[in-house]
Structure 1
Amino acid sequence: MTVGVLGTGRMADALATQWARAGHRLTIGGRDAAKARRLAERVGHGARPAGLREAAESGEVVLAALPYGAGAEVARELRDALAGRVLIDCANPVGPDFRLLTGQGPSAAEQLAAAAPEARVVKAFNLCHEDVWRLRPPVFDGRPLAVPLCGDDPEAVTRTADLVHALGCTPLPTGPLHRAHLLEATAALYITLWLDQQADAQAIAPPLTHAAG
């Protein structure tokens, strides 16, 4: 699969590296050509650097590995290049005091979809720190990590699920894109528990056998 990456930060680094190792063809796009080149060199496996537009045009799937707010801005600039492509949003709109910055408005993923209305947006990969994606594979207590994802286009969700499998994880489709706000709110809660309270977020949910009483 060809994958374009928008961004040169740590999430871009972690996910692109694993996908390149799995045999996918990566193009790393950034506004700063030097940063894009350095990241492509670190990723290796034939990854090549490019500008944002070229990266968007290169991928069957495009990862928006950009901070909240910047993703919609870039998607708006590249809306024609993103038309028809799978566009993965991994952003967490979490601000000071672990507050959800979207409030009662559209999720970060829905804002991305509004900025590039012909793209097929999927929310995924937002519940874990980038170091989790560097594990080969992320397996905890003998279970592969499950990755929730949501989107309105079935093929886009399937393509994203293929990239989840490439990480050694289990895809967990959670419904249409309007549920992205639930994934983003879950991330805000987890971050609060992990960083503010030093609590184990896994401990808050009973096993499936007891979930419904």
Structure 2
Amino acid sequence: MRIGILGNGLMAAALGEQWVRAGHDVMIGGRKPERAADLADRIGATSGSLQEATAHGEILLLAVPAEAAVDTLKSLDIEAGRTLIDCTNSINHRGFTLDEPAMAEAISQAVPHVHVVKAFNLAADAVWREAPHDFEGARLGVPLCGDDPAAVEQVGVLVRGLGCEPVFAGGLPRARLLEATAAVAIGVWAAGGDVRALFPPVGAAFGAVRPGD
């Protein structure tokens, strides 16, 4: 698969390196060619401008800072029907609340001709760099939100390539909930809490409780 990565930061490096290892044709695009080229050399990808990476990828990963995401996309000529993975979170770190509007909504409004899929936003770059992970015999689940089934399945293929399990979490309007979950999780982690303890297995959490009890 041809993947164009827009950005050359930590998420671009972690996911890009994994996808190169899996045999995908990855191009790193950046506003500063030297930074994109440096990352590409380190992970075995090719590099170019943001527009060149956009044209290269049949699937795109948006991995620029959240505050630059919409303006970046508006500056690019993206072919209609292209799949775009949004892994961004726009979080107010003073109170760990969700900025408005939610990123997936803003991105979809900016490029309505593109199939946006929210994914990879619930874990830091180190998690993806060190994938796969095994939790008591279960693979790490990666929630996906998107309105186009074919685009969601495309991203699911990339998730499975990391040794993780794609979990369909609903249409794109539900991506706001993934972003809010990230805000809560980061706030808990920053306060010294264990986020994993918030999500026990379904049987333990609901097995003895019925709605209305």
2:196 to 179, 199, 202: 202
Are positions 1:126 and 2:124 aligned together?
no
Specify the structure having the higher radius of gyration (Cα): 2
* One-letter code aligned to 1:6: L
Give the structure 1 partner of residue 43 of structure 2.
Answer: 43
Structure 1 position 205, deviation (Å): 2.7
Between the aligned partners of 2:139 and 2:130, the Cα distance in structure 1 is 11
Q: Gapped runs of 5+ residues in structure 2?
A: none
Are positions 1:135 and 2:133 aligned together?
no
Please say if residues 145 and 171 of structure 2, whose CA atoms lie closer than 8 Å, have aligned partners that are also in contact.
yes
Of stretches 20-29 and 106-115 in structure 1, the one that deviates more from structure 2 is 106-115
1:100 to 97, 101, 118: 97
Between the aligned partners of 2:119 and 2:131, the Cα distance in structure 1 is 19
RMSD: 1.3
Structure 1 position 112, deviation (Å): 0.8
Are positions 1:90 and 2:87 aligned together?
yes
Please say if residues 98 and 179 of structure 2, whose CA atoms lie closer than 8 Å, have aligned partners that are also in contact.
no
Residues 146-196 of structure 1 show CA distances to partners (whole Å, capped at 9, x for unaligned) of 00010000000000000101111000010100001100000000001111x
1:1-213 equivalences under 5 Å are 1-44=1-44, 47-78=45-76, 80-103=77-100, 106-195=101-190, 197-209=191-203, 210-211=205-206, 213=209
Residues 22-43 of structure 1 show CA distances to partners (whole Å, capped at 9, x for unaligned) of 0111010000000010010011
Structure 1 position 18, deviation (Å): 0.2
The SS at the match of 1:199 is coil
Q: Give the TM-score, by structure 1 length.
A: 0.93
Between the aligned partners of 2:34 and 2:113, the Cα distance in structure 1 is 30
Q: Gapped runs of 5+ residues in structure 1?
A: none
Structure 1 position 101, deviation (Å): 4.1
Of stretches 22-31 and 94-103 in structure 1, the one that deviates more from structure 2 is 94-103
Between the aligned partners of 2:129 and 2:64, the Cα distance in structure 1 is 18
Q: Give the TM-score, by structure 2 length.
A: 0.93
Count of aligned pairs: 207
Residues 70-125 of structure 1 show CA distances to partners (whole Å, capped at 9, x for unaligned) of 111111111x324211000000111222433424xx32011111111101000000
Between the aligned partners of 2:13 and 2:150, the Cα distance in structure 1 is 25
Please say if residues 116 and 172 of structure 2, whose CA atoms lie closer than 8 Å, have aligned partners that are also in contact.
yes
Once the two structures are aligned, what percentage of the paired residues are identical?
47
Between the aligned partners of 1:107 and 1:31, the Cα distance in structure 2 is 24
* One-letter code aligned to 1:179: R
